[in-house]
Amino acid sequence: METKNFTIASTLKLGKVVLKVMNLEAMTQFYQEIIGLDLLEQTEGVSVLGIKADGTVLLELRRSVAMTVQTGRKTGLYHTAFLVPERSDLGNALLHYIKKQAPIIGASDHGYSEALYLNDPEGNGIEVYRDKPSEVWDVRADGRIEGITIEMDADGVVAAADERENWSGFPSGTSIGHVHLKVADLNQTEQFYTKMLGLSLKTVFPNQAIFLAAGGYHHHIGANVWSGTGIPPMNENDIGLDYYSFILPEQTEFDRLKNHLETNEIDFLASEADTIELLDPNGIKIKITY
């Protein structure tokens, strides 16, 4: 197997997160009216949400009559992290969430970012955050980026808000900054995301969590075993994460990754000229395109 020194494109981005839901109407309303996404498209069974000003799709909600609530601990989504461009945008969101009595479950300063944490009505985690300037990140000589978890300066974030009366939702430039996953085995997860997908390990909380990224970012993927090690994958009919997607900058980079995966005998769920689908070691589906 050829795993040596493969590195994914440094300009890799997260694309969208797709969730399987039971109550499409309530979930759509929540992500629009509470969280701050725009409804871009809707059919009887699917809501497509994102940033209207950019035409960017960030989240899809898909209804199925076969969906069942998860019982017990399984792999899947820990949270989807929406990255807003400025501290003022985070302040605007926080004020809105307070006014709407949104289900905020935490607020943290991670050294490289400031973050709010919420849960949607079906138990999917949400992070809304802004990055601090990279000059203040704790970047080590080997490329690792150490994070912390302390109380967020909520007063400072609120003071930065500039849309105090009529918040219009997430602004242009909002993206999915990272996806944090519940996994069964940290070592297998690390090996797959570093050796197969070519991400770099940025931070390690021993026996708890790892954080991985392309290029010099603090993390595009988080993975934890806080639900326990060896937990089973989701069933097809469980509500929650269907898949998340990576977007590569160009076809050359897509072909390079695809060839690397094929050389290492990674099975694809689907393979087309511009998209591949595969499972990570935790049974979590990933779509990769450009």
10-58 pLDDT, tens per residue?
A: 999 999 999 999 999 999 999 999 999 999 999 999 999 999 999 999 9
Q: How confident is the model at residue 166 (pLDDT cuts 50, 70, 90)?
A: confident
pLDDT of residue 70: 61
- Going from N- to C-terminal start, the domains of the chain cover 13-289
**Calpha distance 126→157 (Å, rounded):** 18
Q: How confident is the model at residue 237 (pLDDT cuts 50, 70, 90)?
A: confident
**Calpha distance 13→245 (Å, rounded):** 9
CB atoms within 10 A of CB 266: 16
- pLDDT tops 80 at residue 3: no
Please enumerate in sequence order all residues whose Cβ is within 8 A of that of 288, keeping only pairs 6 or more positions apart, or say none.
Answer: 245, 246, 247, 248, 254, 257, 258, 275, 276, 277, 278
Letter for the amino acid at 270?
A
Torsion-angle region of 54 (φ positive above 0: left; ψ -120 to 50: alpha; else: beta):
alpha
- Average pLDDT, integer, range 186-192: 98
**Calpha distance 276→269 (Å, rounded):** 8
Q: How confident is the model at residue 5 (pLDDT cuts 50, 70, 90)?
A: confident
For the segment 81-100, what is each residue's pLDDT rounded down to a tens digit? Answer: 999 999 999 999 999 999 99
For the segment 244-288, what is each residue's pLDDT rounded down to a tens digit? Answer: 999 999 999 999 999 999 999 999 999 999 999 999 999 999 999
- pLDDT tops 60 at residue 209: yes
Using an 8 Å Cβ cutoff, are 176 and 50 in contact? Answer: no
- pLDDT tops 70 at residue 200: yes
CATH superfamily of 13-289: 2,3-Dihydroxybiphenyl 1,2-Dioxygenase, domain 1 (3.10.180.10)
**Calpha distance 143→164 (Å, rounded):** 39
- pLDDT tops 90 at residue 66: no
- pLDDT mean across residues, the chain: 95
- pLDDT tops 90 at residue 224: yes
**Calpha distance 87→93 (Å, rounded):** 10
**Calpha distance 244→242 (Å, rounded):** 7
Please enumerate in sequence order all residues whose Cβ is within 8 A of that of 179, keeping only pairs 6 or more positions apart, or say none.
Answer: 14, 17, 77, 79, 80, 81, 220, 221, 222, 244
**This prediction's pTM:** 0.96
The number of CA neighbours under 13 Å toward the Cβ of 187 is: 3
Please identify which residue in the block is written with the tokens 């000589």: 141
